[in-house]
Amino acid sequence: MLQATPLTDGWILRHEGAELPAAVPGCVHTDLLAADVIPDPFLGLNEREVAWVGRRDWTYETDLDARSAHEQTDLVFEGLDTVAEILLDGQLLGRVRNMHRSYRFDVTGLSGRLSVRFASAYAEAEAVRGKLGERPAAYAEPYQYLRKMACSFGWDWGPTLVTAGIWRPVRLEHWSTARIARVRPLVTVEQGAGVVELAVDVERTRVEAPLTVEASAGGVRARAEIDGTGGVVRLRVPDVRLWWPRGYGEQPLYDVELRLLHGEDALDVWRRRIGFRSVELDRGADADGTGFTLVVNGERLFARGVNWIPDDVFPSRVTRERYRRRLEQAADAGVDLVRVWGGGIYESGDFYDACDELGLLVWQDFPFACAAYPEEQPLRGEVEAEARENVVRLMPHPSLVLWNGNNENLWGFRDWGWEQRLAGDSWGEGYYLGVLPRVVAELDPTRPYTAGSPWSGSWHRHPNDPAHGTHHSWEVWNREDYAEYRGEVPRFVAEFGWQAPPAYATLRRALPGEELAPDSPGMLHHQKADDGNGKLRRGLERHFAGAVEGDFDRWHYLTQVNQARAVAAGIEHWRSHWPVCAGTVVWQLNDCWPVTSWAAIDGDGREKPLYHELRRLYADRLLTLGVRELAIVNQGTEEWAGVVRLRRMSVEGALLGEASVDLSAGRRAVARVGVPKEMAPVGPKEFLVADADGVRAVHFPVPDREVPYPRPEFDVALVPGGVSVTARTLVRDLLLQADRLDPDARADRGLVTLLPGEEVTIGVSGWKTPDAAAARSALYCMEPSR
C-alpha cells in the first residue's frame, strides 16, 4: 500500500547568509514574522516597511531521506509559491513557475539536503513582460505575467505583500507496482438513481502487472480492469437522496472509495465525499433579453450570493476551522452561493468540504482578473495544466455548480482601452473562449461554464449589458447615489457593493495609538480604493450633509449605515423582479486584512452592520416598500398568505393612517400589491411602515438630511444574554457596536428601527463585564440634523 510521509519538520529559511526556522506549509512573510525580523504588516503603516521581502530570493532547506523498501518514492509538493527550482544535494530535480499547481519528483533511493530556491515573483514577472511585451491591467503591478494569486500584488482592498514559499503541504510517497495518479468522478442522477463514473489513471513501475480497481458508494460495489494506464468503473446507486442548496432541502453526502488492486493486494486508495444532484444554467433568450438562471435538481433559483476573496493575504494561515467559521457566517446570513473570485486562488479542499456540508453553492472563477493576460509560452502551457488539475481536483464537490473563465477581462477589453493598446497582441480571449471551455467540456461535462463575469454571451452585445447574462454594477458606487440601483433590472448581478470601514475594535488593533479620523495616516493607508474616502464622503453628503464634520465616531457609524442601505436598495429591488433577475452576488463577504472595504465581515472576522442586513435581505421572506407599491418576495417552500398591516406615521410618533392589505405570494414567487393612495407619506415628516408575519419594511420618501428627526429617547436595560432597548420616540437605525464594549463581544443583530413604545432585545456574547451605562454609550442611531 502507498505510504505517505509528511515533510513538516526541520525546515529552515535562508537568505543572504541568514538562517531562520521555517514553518511548512507557510511563506516567507510568516516565517519572518515568527522570528521578529519584520513588523506585522497589517498594523499601522508597516506594509511599506516590508515591501522589500517580495523583491528578494529565498531558499527553504531540510534533510531528505527517500530510501525505502518500496520500488518508487516521489517528492510531492501540493503548492509552491511561485517560481522555484528544487535541488537535492545541489542536483536539479526540477523548476516550477505556477502557484496553482502541484508537483511530483522521483527521488527513489536518494537522500541529502533538499533545497527549494524561490526567485522573486517580481523578477519572473518582469522577465516575462520583457519577453512578451506590455499588457494593460487595472493596476500597475505585474501580476498578469505569472500564475500567482493576483491580489498578492495588492488590490483596491488589499495590501501589496508579494509572497513566496511552500504554501501547501509537502510529503514523500512510497509505492510499489502502481499508484493512482488521477481519479475523475462524473456524478449524475438518472431516474432517481445516482450514477458515479470513475475514470482512473495509474502510474506503474511494472508494466506487466495485472491491475483492478474496486469502487464502492452507497452500499454498491463494482470492479473494472485497468487496461495499460487507465480504466473506468461505474456505480449505480438506487434511490439516492438528492443534495440541495441550503434552504431548498438537505445535503446528504456519500462516501466514495476506490482501491487499486494487484490481485487482492491493495496498492493505493482514493476516498472522497460526493453528493447527487443535477445542475444546469438556463441562458435562454426571452422578452427581457438573455437569462442567467441556475437550476439545481430542476428547481430554478434566485441566487443569494457573496463574493469571496482569499481570507488572508497569507493563505497558508487559513485553517480548516477558519474556513468553516467564515462560511458558517455566510450561511447564517442567508447566503446560498459563494463566488470564488478570479484574483485569488483555487481554495483548499477544506473550503469546498464546508460548502458541501453547509449547502453553499460555489461559483468558481479561474484565476484571471482585471488584466490582459499573454497567451504565449510559458504561460499558455501553465494555464492548461493548472486548469486540468484543478477541474479534476474539485469535481467531487456537489457544492461546485459553475466554472467561470475570468473576472472583468472581457469587459476590460471592450471598455477600458485595452483593444487599442494591445494592437492585436494576445490578451486572454483564447483562454476564456478556447482553452478553458475545452478543458471543462472534456473533463467535467456535468457542470456549466461561462466565459467571464460580466459576460453577455456574445461579442455582438456589450460584455456588461444588463439585459444579457451577468452584470457588474459599479457605476453606482463610483459616481452615483445608491438609489440608482433601482433604475434597471439586470438578469444576474454578479458584483455590486458599497464601502464602509471595519469595526471600531478592528481599527484600534490595526492602528495602535493613532487618533482616528477619516483622513488620519493609518486610515488613509488602510483605504486602498481609488478616491475611496471621496466616494464615502460624497455618499454621506447625499444623505447626511454636514452631519459628521470632525466627529469620527459619527462618521464611522454613518458610513456603515450607508453601506447597509446601499446594498439593501439593490437587493430589495432586484429580488422583487424575480424571475427576470435571477441572482445577486454582493461584493464582498470577507477581507484579507483590516481595511476600509466593501466587505460584510472585516479582516478580524467581525460582522459589520451590512452582515446583519444581509440576514434580512436574504431571508426567504422579504417585503420591499415604496410609495405606490409593496413587493412580497417569497423564496420559501410554502405559499405566503396573510395580511400586511400598513401604517402611515409621523416622525413625532403619531399614527396618521392605517390599512390592511391581503398578501398572497406562491412558493418561490413574487407578488405585488398597490399601496392605497391615502397611505402615501406627505412631506419629509412622514414615513410608511409595513408589517406581516414578523417581517417589516420601512420607507422614508426623502433623504435623512431632510427628515426632521426628533432627538431619540430610549431606555436601556441589561437582560440575560444581552441588552434591552425600549423606544420612547422614533429610533431609526439603532446599532449596538458591541466591540466597543469588549473586543471579544458580538451582537446578534445590526440596524433596527423602533417605533415609539417598541422594544428590542439585542443578544450580546463575549462581554465579560456587562454594564448598562456602557451599553448605552455603545448605542448609535439617527439624530436630528446638525
Which residues are tagged catalytic?
408
Q: Annotate 119-128 with b (16+ C-beta within 10 A) or e (fewer).
A: bbbbebbeeb
- Contact criterion met (CB below 8 Å) for 146 and 121: yes
For the chain, what's the residue count?
786
Find residue 75's DSSP bridge partners.
105, 172
Q: Which whole-number Å values give the CA distances from 331 to 186, 254, 304, 336, 392, in the listed order?
A: 27, 22, 10, 7, 26
d(CA 715, CA 226): 75
Closest CA to 557 of 413, 316, 736, 342: 736
Q: Do the beta carbons of residue 645 and residue 660 sit within 8 Å?
A: yes
> What is the spatial distance between Cα 112 and Cα 89, in angstroms, rounded to a whole number?
5
Contact 78, 31 (CB under 8 A): no
Q: How far apart are CA 562 and CA 736, in angstroms?
A: 16
Report d(CA 348, CA 323) in Å as an integer.
9
Contact 341, 587 (CB under 8 A): no
C-beta of residue 304 within 8 angstroms of C-beta of residue 633? no
The DSSP string of 458-478 is: STTS-TT-TTBSEEE--HHHH
Does residue 368 contact residue 431 with C-beta atoms inside 8 Å?
yes
302 and 635 in contact (C-beta within 8 Å)? yes
Whether 48 and 55 have beta carbons less than 8 Å apart is answered as no
Burial 167-187 (b: 16+ CB within 10 A, else e): bbbbebbbbbbbbbebbbbbb
Count CB-CB contacts under 10 A for residue 203.
15
**Torsion 314-316-321-325 (CA) sign:** positive
b/e sequence 345-380, b meaning 16+ C-beta within 10 Å: bbbbbbbbbbbbbbbbbbbbbbbbbbbbbbbeebbb
Cβ-defined contacts of 347-352 (< 8 Å, 24+): 347/308, 347/323, 348/168, 348/318, 348/320, 348/323, 349/393, 350/319, 350/320, 350/323, 350/324, 351/323, 351/327, 352/394, 352/397, 352/399, 352/400
Q: How many Cα atoms within 13 Å fall on the side-chain side of residue 602?
A: 23
DSSP annotation of 415? H
Joined together, the cell numbers standing for residue 548 give: 459628521
Residues 6+ positions from 556 with CB-CB distance below 8 Å: 501, 504, 516
Query: Is the bond preceding residue 579 a cis peptide, omega within 30 degrees?
Result: yes
